[in-house]
Structures are given as C-alpha cells and as structure tokens.
Amino acid sequence: MTNQNKYILALDQGTTSSRAIVFNRQGHIMAVAQREFEQHFPQSGWVEHDAEEIWSTQSGVAQEAITRAGLRASNIAAIGITNQRETTLVWDRGTGQPIHNAIVWQDRRTAELCDRLRAEGKDELIREKTGLLLDAYFSGTKVKWILDHVPGARQAAEAGELAFGTVDSWLVYNLTGGQLHITDASNASRTLLYNIHTGDWDDELLALLDVPRSMLPEVRSSSEVYGETAEGLFGSRIPIAGIAGDQQAATFGQACLERGMAKNTYGTGCFMLMNTEQEAVPSQNQLLTTVGWQLGGERTYALEGSVFIGGAVVQWLRDGLGIIRSSEEVERLAARVPDTGGAYLVPAFTGLGAPYWDPYARGTLVGLTRSTSAAHIARAALEAVAFQSAELLQAMQSDSGLELKELRVDGGASRNNLMMQFQADLLGVPVVRPKVTETTALGAAYLAGLAVHYWDSTDAIEQGWAVDQTFEPQMSADERDSRMAEWRRAVERSRGWIQTEG
C-alpha cells in the first residue's frame, strides 16, 4: 500500500499529560489531542502515576487525534512513541496488570540506597558502564524498591512472572495486546542497568541492584518496525515503528544529526543535549553521557546537562513575588529597562545542577540598589536562565572538544525573544528557533516514518527543518566575559547556603 496519502501519529507520553499529534509529510501538525492525568504523592518526596491511567489517556488521545485530523487508522503509516524517561513500571506477564503504581522520575524514595551504594564506592563502576550519575532519578533503584516492598514481587520476578519497563515499554505492551516487551536504546540508557558501550543489559549492574534479567525488555533500535497495534484497538492495525525518550526525540526532531550540534529545551527546567556521534564522551563536569538514538546497529551518543530552574523562575515571579499576573507578561516587564542595573538572580531554589551539583545552594538576589525595580528583577530572572544554559554549554564544549556553531532551541520559553537574544549574546553563536517547536513529538514521528520509508532518509528530515527566527550575537567578547564572571560571583554567594538539607 502506498504511503502517499498517509500520515504519522506521534504519541507523546509526558509527566503530567498524554498527547497525540498527527504529522504530514512536511512535518506539519494536522491535529493534536491532549489529556492530563493525576499525580500521586503518597509521602514527601514520593511521586507516582497510575499505570492504567497512563495507558487509558494515551490510547484515548491517539484515537481522538486521528478523528480530529479527519482520518481513519488506515490513513496512519506508522506510530512513533516518545515518553517521560526513567519512570518505572512493573507488571504481571500473565494478567498484564501493574503490581504497583508507576514510580516517577522525580521520585526520591531511593536516595538512601544511592547514598549507600556511593559509600560502597559503586558510583565509579556505574558511571563507567552507564554514563550516568548514581542518583534516585534513574530507573534501576526504583525497580529494586518495588521488588523489595511489594509482597511476593521478588519471588514472582525470579520465577519469570514479572515484566519491568519504562513508559515506552508499557505503551508498546498494551498497544500490541501483550505481544511485545521491548524498549529502545535511548530509554534503556537511562535505567542504570544498561551498558552504553556494549549495547546490552549488564549482568554486573543487575547483580548490584538485585534485578533478575528475565524482567527486562528486549532492547531494539529507535527506528524499526517492531510490530502492529492489536486487532480492534483503532479499527485497522498500525505499524509501531519509532521509540525514543523525550529529550533524545527532541534532539532528533531538531535535526541535530551531526557531531557537535546541540539543542536546548526551555521548559520548567532546561535540557541541553549535544550530539557526539559514535563517541560516548565521558564528562569531567558532571554531565550525563547517554544514548541519543540507535539507527540500525549504530548508536549515536550525546552529552546531556540540565538546569533545574528554567521557566519555573518566571512562575516564581508570578506566584511568589506577584510582580506579574501571567507568565506572558515577563518579557514586556523586562523590556522596560535596558539591563538589570547590576542585579543578578541565582534561582537555586532546589540547589544547583551541572556543573556545580550543590544541593546546599539556595536562591540568591545580589547587586540591589535603591533604583532596582520589578523590571530589573524580571530581566535578571530571564538572564539567569540564559546564564545557566551558557555554563552547561561551556561544560559540553570542554568535555567534547567540540565548538558549537549554533544552538537550536525549543520549549515554551523559547518563544521569549528577549531571553533568546541574550542567550545568543552570552554564547557568541546564533540561537535558532524552528517553525515547529513540538520537536519531541516530531522526533518520534521522524523515527517512525524512516522505518516505514515515509521519509527516505535523514536528509529529508534536515531539509524539512525550517527556521522561524535566528538570534545573532550582538555582545562584544569582552562584555560577555565580564558578564559571565559577574554571574559566577553571584553563584558563589548562593553556594553552600544551608549546612544540611531540609
């Protein structure tokens, strides 16, 4: 059957909502459907999702998006999946029922286990094999927690009766009526159980975290036809042909397909990834080394860094300080002044991420004078996001020895022109915003479309990537160096502010 009059369906399963987007051959959006779902907080620092609700909302919006586009399932050439990463599910292979709520990536219940493993000197082993820091963020310790705390779970797992998966695995399992238990290399690389150099689950890591190999999904490429949706689910069977974790999918959707290309997603936090092609670059600056995607047998690696407080600093201006009524007002307020008047805001509300990793840092506002106004503070808040991102990029360039030619940007805050211009000024390279900023879903669509020859090659993806606006740097090198030095002085004032956490 020809793909000529067909479309690609991307399932974008996020932390707070499930979305589905139908794309055409030009990478344009034909229809979107979205549903939020409940967040569960059983204890302080614990975050869970109902796995059945993840599936029901995601399958619901998939059908809704197809209908909104005026299509039928027979018009869909393939499904691509992208997902919140590290969130951990365990289910019964016989019944398909989860044995516990999904433990979300934000959940901190296994922090003590990580501390214990660190005290035993296991962090370097984990770092070398997985490219990850030993942290409760990742899936491996969450699986161990479920096996240790759900009655009968460990015995069932050892008898081969349980399946573990990240959200992508859970969706594919349900989409195929329980026929497939798989993941892709990008999601596997976020589990603490996968060796990014051998491309397989690692027996030494499985023994360390006491996770039976029989629970694990088969690791597949990020772009291949894995199977089809179950009979009767959508009316016609649709090939499932692409999987990638959300930040890796966004990097692919931004067409950062060559070594040294990088993207930054400006959301609540910021996620920056740089393509290092076939080299898994070890970081000296506490960045993560991760699998970007796998096409055929070839893994593409990336360096990843995150800013904890990105767009969230604007929410704080709105809800905490009350100097704006809506997030959209911040750019207008900040534009009333030509600069911050010497003020610097370090939004270390929950500590500092890379390259500092200081959980004892706290938010700091310095350089205030009698003339400091709400507009100066708003501008300092926007500049803080750009300063933090610039430090991440400098760390990436230092680790990789690669020099950035441009930074591709997406996410809600990338619509803020003032911030994007300042980001370009700080980096000294152009900042480029694409026309389609739904790059996460678009990346999943591209991966699926390549597998079914909807797009012939990655060349088609690069040609389809279109610029909305380019922000050229206007700041002199001397001023840039001076501003970065002042920012670092402000950061030093915020560091180690509290003596103990809490």
3-state helix, strand, coil in the chain (%, to 5): 35, 25, 40
84: Cα separation from own chain's centroid? 7
Max Cα–Cα distance, the chain, nearest Å: 71
According to the annotation, is 372 in a ligand binding site?
no
Residue with tokens 């997603």: 265
According to the annotation, is 247 in a ligand binding site?
yes
E strand residue ranges, 267-332: 270-277, 288-295, 298-307
61 vs 39: CA distance, rounded Å: 18
Check if the beta carbon of residue 229 is closer than 8 Å to that of residue 79.
yes
According to the annotation, is 15 in a ligand binding site?
yes
According to the annotation, is 315 in a ligand binding site?
yes
Reduce the DSSP state of residue 253 to 3 states and report it. helix
Check if the beta carbon of residue 252 is closer than 8 Å to that of residue 399.
no
Q: Measured between alpha carbons, how far apart are the two ends of the chain, in Å?
A: 61
**Residue 43: what residue type?**
Q
According to the annotation, is 416 in a ligand binding site?
yes
Q: What is the DSSP secondary structure assignment for residue 352, as one 8-state letter?
A: B
According to the annotation, is 17 in a ligand binding site?
yes
243 vs 451: CA distance, rounded Å: 11
181 vs 165: CA distance, rounded Å: 8
According to the annotation, is 16 in a ligand binding site?
yes
**Residue 421: what residue type?**
Q
**Which amino acids are annotated as binding site for sn-glycerol 3-phosphate, given as ranges?**
15, 85-86, 137, 246
Binding site for ADP: what residues are annotated?
Answer: 15, 19, 268, 311, 412, 416
Q: List residues forming the annotated binding site for ATP.
A: 15-17, 268, 311, 315, 412
* Binding-site annotation, residues: 15-17, 19, 85-86, 137, 246-247, 268, 311, 315, 412, 416
Which residue ranges make up the annotated binding site for glycerol?
Answer: 85-86, 137, 246-247
